Amino acid sequence: MSLLAVNNISKSFRGLKAVSDASFEITEGSINALIGPNGAGKTTIFNMVAGVFPPDSGSISFQGKPIHGLRPDQICAAGIGRTFQIVKPFAGLSVLDNVMVGGFLRERSAQAARKVALEILDKLQLGAKRDLPASSLTLPDRKRLEVARALATRPRLLLLDEVMAGLRPTECDQMVEVFRELNRRDGLTILLIEHVMRAVMALAQHIGVLHHGEVIARGTPQEIVRNPQVLECYLGEETEL
Amino acid sequence: MLIALPLFAGNYALSVVTLILYFAYTGQAWNVMMGFAGQLSLGHSLYVGVGAYAAGGLFFHYGIGPWAGLPLAILLCVALGLVIGFLAFRFGISGVYFALLTIAFAEFTRIGFDHLDWLGGPGGMFLKVAQRDVWDVLNFRGPPLMYYYAMLGLCCFAFLLCFCLLKSKAGYYWQAIRENEEAAQALGINTFRWKMLAVAISSAMTAVSGVFFAFYYNNLFPEQIFHISRSIEIILGPIIGGVGTLFGPILGAAVLTLLSDGITDGLAALGWEIPGIKQVFYGVVLLAVVMFLPNGIWPFIAKKLKL
């Protein structure tokens, strides 16, 4: 059974169709990527899944239950964690406290939330910086913090909105390794929006391509890079991978 | 040290310290809403006033002491706070617009009480002045010493409460909402519910200030107690001391009250009697603190002490 099923969702902003009739499914335990040119509607789809706004039409279900129209906090509680493309750290709090906020979703006591947070910080190589204020972190570390915070809510599905953007190739590879590990060891299902093809190709088992708000192709990475339509609208004919 | 203070302090010093404690406590209450949860209230005089009139009214009309008036005061203030919170948070009113809403409610209430003759109207309500030498704890009438200890107890209670809140889930959730509400919501926080909780706790604590005010000063005028300058007075302490910190409200209240009294005494000693000069001095000092210590005095001291 699919963990997340998106059925024919559409969304318009003041007459501009951002997403039209998009459908896809995500199976439990898989890593999936949503790619496409700027303005294709990737983040809009993300925001609908995460509950920032409801779709105009269509339905979204998670573990067999409809979730469209729920608030972001309800969707997070249901088991979907997300990161923001433009990072939103709790700047005045320490790195550890940032992650503890996420930990409190499934833990009552501060002690238990701290334990969860410390484990996750270690996984993301932020352990040494746990007492620094989040505002003092560099961009790559802030991206890691976004991921750590989302993970602390113990999601079954993790939505990653361009977490690789702005990272150097080596940092990008490190991040890829972290997600692979989370997927392999904890069985975490992942959906990422990404422009960095290096990461997409290294991570994703399934790729969906969006163009002008429509899903124009779905398949394995090998199928996608040979799809003439995708080459034309997004990857370009010269792309080497 | 503060428990033993009355042994060597005179009545005047005692009244000053009581005033400091009063502002420290009320500032602590306001700090729960603004400092912890980031919801700016500029109308906390509303809760002081309603709390004072609720308990004061019961005593004035029926001779019912503040121990019965206290729950009523808290109940009324929490209800009012939740109405304001509901209106604001349901309809997405935040930041300065939320602050304006809190001012509006305080002002409505002030005007309303001006027309409420049953509680004295604009002419004020006067509680029977107490016998100053008998400890009548049941009716909260007695010597200044009693009020001093009451306020000291309240301050300690508020400090412990805020300390525990800050270390708990509520504290973490409030601070997350204060720093970034959208990110907080994405981490599973029902921001509406937690903001309402902050308002409820803050208004309940402030209601107690009101009850104290009524029985300490014995006279209540809508024009004074609900006035916006009262709200400003409440929030200056935590702002000068350090918004969102535990020691900020206490330190701020001490600095401001001593400063205000110090200026009065200093000017009297110099023999200057220029109208308004006290306010000018006061303003200059505030300006200096805000300019040089924009986060307040406590964060600065904490940094120096490496806390």
User: What residue segments make up the domains of chain B, in order of their start?
Assistant: 5-227
Q: What is the pLDDT of residues A210-222, one digit of tens each?
A: 998 888 889 998 8
Residue B130 pLDDT greater than 70, yes or no: no
Q: What is the pLDDT of residues B152-182, one digit of tens each?
A: 999 999 999 999 999 999 999 999 999 999 9
B16 or B285, greater pLDDT? B16
B33 or B63, greater pLDDT? B33
* CB proximity B183 to A under 8 Å: yes
pLDDT number for residue A199: 87
Interface test with A, best of B163, B185, B187 (most A CBs within 10 A): B187
User: What residue segments make up the domains of chain A, in order of their start?
Assistant: 2-79+156-235, 91-154
pLDDT number for residue A206: 94
pLDDT number for residue A238: 52
C-alpha to C-alpha distance for A114 and B28, rounded to whole angstroms: 27
Over residues B222-235, mean pLDDT:
92
Residues of chain A contacting B190 with CB distance shorter than 8 Å: 71, 73-74
C-alpha to C-alpha distance for B204 and B88, rounded to whole angstroms: 19
Q: How many A-B residue pairs are in contact by the CB < 8 A criterion?
A: 76
The mean pLDDT of chain A is 91
> For domain A2-79+156-235, which CATH number applies: 3.30.390.30, 3.50.50.60, 3.40.50.300, 3.60.70.12?
3.40.50.300
Q: What is the pLDDT of residues B39-78, one digit of tens each?
A: 999 999 999 999 999 999 999 999 888 898 999 999 999 9
**How many Å separate Cα B149 from the centre of its chain?**
17
**Cα dihedral angle (B230, B232, B236, B238), rounded to 10 degrees?**
90
Measure B158 CA to nearest chain A CA, in Å.
21
Which of B184, B219, B204 has the alpha carbon at shortest distance from B59? B219
pLDDT number for residue B86: 97
Residue A237 pLDDT greater than 60, yes or no: no
C-alpha to C-alpha distance for B16 and B13, rounded to whole angstroms: 5
pLDDT number for residue A208: 92
ipTM: 0.91
* CB proximity B37 to A under 8 Å: no
Q: What is the pLDDT of residues A103-126, one digit of tens each?
A: 999 999 999 999 999 999 999 989
Query: Could you tell me the two tokens for B20?
Result: 């400091």
pLDDT number for residue A142: 93
